Structure 1
Amino acid sequence: MAISNEKVSIIVPIYNAEKYLEECIESVTKQTYKDLQIILVNDGSKDKSWELCKKLKNSDSRIVIATQSNAGVSVARNKGLDLADGKWIMFVDPDDVLSKTIVEDLLTQVSAEIDIVACGCYGFDGSYRKKDSFFKGNRIFKANKDDLYLQLMDASHGQGNDFVTAIGVPWGKIYRHNFIKKYNLRFDPKLRRMQDNIFNMYAFYYAREIFYLDKPLYFYRLDHITDYNKRHQKDMLKIFKPVVDARTTAISTLGLNKDPQIYKFYLQETAGFFFGIVNSLILTNKRFEKEVKQLKNNTNFNILFKNQNIKKIKDKKMRYKLFLFDHNLIRLYSIMYKILGKN
């Protein structure tokens, strides 16, 4: 397959990224593939990120900059899509680094039917580096994309438990721009988490073909990763209920809920979110029993307790916990959780 002689628009959403921004953009500008549009979208940063964006623009004519009031990464990426004029789209996070050949290597895999090309990555922190292959060996996904959907809902699928991240990330990929336009693919601003994962569920479904290159070409910085759940313990309901709603809408709209295996993974993921929210309510809300009952009766969570769905959950411990809720033993669960802790 020949290298595509077409412009690639690289979108970088930026929020308080002054520490690593110049290193990131240097790895973009020094690509072996030169026909690039580099779009820097400042999302209301409070540090010197915007000043750096203006400085970087003056250093390379391929750089386009835009700024907005803080509205979140989804709005920033969508703004980048509006500004893009390349034939291909790539997303890069501002604290990460690209290998010099990532654009060239991904474009080398392009054919007439391929709408997405993805690659593996390294997770890194200082001198520490860990390779992450989302799948073993190069693969092309056409009619059967089940492994993609399953890894979106269970990061360990296809790569075991010793992983850095999963295929749902927006980076480390190129997307055909006309394909994104055709299906009006956008990032959902209502989602504070997993907006990229939901975006890719639709993208993977609509893509004619997807090529996975088992080569670590993207460097994903790990030092910013902290215990998100602890920091946002009081907000778990607001953060993750919309994710469940978005996932439910996606698999229903795309008809993926008709596949028994995909549906089981969906139930398992939903159960995980259910207990993440329940546990946060137990620890932060004195009226947790009322809140938990309301959560259980919510349409997209109540499905766990219908049609023998508890039996479809692959995790035995989770099935037992759901059994307690199915029999309204909420207080018993809360006592056990406080005594035994997580899981």
Structure 2
Amino acid sequence: MKPFFSVIIPVYNKGRYLDRAVKSALNQSYADLELILIDDASSDESSDISRGYKDERVRRFRRMRPGPGGYAARNLGISLARGKWVCFLDADDEWLQDHLAIVRKAVKEHPGCQGVSTGSYLQKEQSWVADNYVRKHFESHVFELCEYLQARLKGLELITTNTIALKRNFLTEGSLFPEGSALRGGDEATWLKLFLQGMKMVRLPVPTAVYHLDADNMVTAKISNATGKHPVLSRVESVLPQLDDREVKRLLCRFANRKTIAWARVIKESKGIPLAQLKRLNFQGLDMYCVFAAMAMLFLPGLVFKQLIGGVKSQFWTRRFF
């Protein structure tokens, strides 16, 4: 009998944390699941740890070459999934025990939705901080494309890979995540792709996942990872010619501009004026945030800019990981 959930965990050199993630999935109060471990050509003890699980719900697969961001591993997991709904969990994070039970209940209560997303905690040392959506909202809400874009432009964190569940028969043929074309930023482009396909997603105001802010748990802000076009910009540019709704086009352009500014900031903090990124800004989507950020990058010295951004980042713990 096919399970209700397929849980996909990409694994690349996460031996130090893997057992925590796997046990948090296998010990769920709602147990109708299969756990798909995709070893992304790990060179540490991750493979040995994966082979040690005897639970019959665990399925193991290994890729011969690692894929940046875990995108290729997730895509392989989706192609192998047998469950009605697909979930993801990073190998260095964890779920609270009732995560899948809460998602299953939401699936029953919102039969017209193809996605369910819960909240999460950011954990560092002894500090646990709920995401900003959880802190500001007390009821579930169904999002479609425009509302999703408006919420993201306000800085609300609606989806992470650890919190999203997707109806498998809604996922189209081919790669869901942008493997081979992005080193980072691909998750956000993937959620946008699904909303553009007509996804309805219910966001629950309940934190059920824990994002551990360990030193080797984060996608680093390397210049090499912020070159070229942000995957969101590439996605927006590919769909704009097909759209007639001017408001949707404006929101998409604003959203793409925000992501372009984020990459430009990485370059500015590291080595100078990010002209190549700033030239990608779409005038149709310019707002005061983008204008101010672009002017600061162009005219402020690097040290002054970093100090200014440092003041913004000091609100990190109260505004969520923006």
Q: After TM superposition, is the score higher than 0.5?
A: yes
Instruction: State the match for 2:94 in structure 1.
Output: 97
Seq. identity, %: 20
Q: Which structure has the larger Rg?
A: 1
Q: 1:18 to 1:209 in 2, by over 3 A?
A: same
The runs of 5 or more residues in structure 2 that have no matched partner are: 309-322
Instruction: State the match for 2:288 in structure 1.
Output: 313
Tell me the CA shift for residue 84 of structure 1.
0.5
Counterpart pick for 1:228 among 198, 220, 231 = 220
Deviations 1:9-28 (A, max 9, x none): 00000111111111111111
- TM-score, normalized by length of structure 1? 0.75
Once the two structures are superposed, the pairs formed by residues 156-305 of structure 1 within 5 Å of their partners are 157-158=155-156, 166-180=157-171, 182=172, 184=174, 186-189=176-179, 190-224=181-215, 228-229=220-221, 232-233=222-223, 235-238=224-227, 241-243=229-231, 245-249=233-237, 252=240, 255=243, 258-259=247-248, 260-277=250-267, 280-282=270-272, 301=280, 303-304=282-283
- TM-score, normalized by length of structure 2? 0.80
RMSD: 2.9
Please give the alpha-carbon distance, in whole angstroms, between the structure 2 residues aligned to 1:179 and 1:107.
17
Tell me the CA shift for residue 34 of structure 1.
1.6
Amino acid at match of 2:122: G
Tell me the CA shift for residue 129 of structure 1.
1.2
Q: 1:128 to 1:319 in 2, by over 3 A?
A: closer
Q: 1:313 to 1:24 in 2, by over 3 A?
A: same
Aligned residues: 296
CA contact (8 A) 1:11 1:77 kept: yes
Matched, 1:71 2:67: yes
Once the two structures are superposed, the pairs formed by residues 23-62 of structure 1 within 5 Å of their partners are 23-56=20-53, 59-62=54-57
CA contact (8 A) 1:185 1:203 kept: no
Deviations 1:246-280 (A, max 9, x none): 24336527747743344334334333433443554
The runs of 5 or more residues in structure 1 that have no matched partner are: 159-165, 283-287, 325-332
Please give the alpha-carbon distance, in whole angstroms, between the structure 1 residues aligned to 2:141 and 2:10.
29
Instruction: State the match for 1:285 in structure 2.
Output: none
Amino acid at match of 1:64: R
Instruction: State the match for 1:119 in structure 2.
Output: 118
Instruction: State the match for 1:137 in structure 2.
Output: 138
Tell me the CA shift for residue 316 of structure 1.
5.7
Tell me the CA shift for residue 147 of structure 1.
3.5
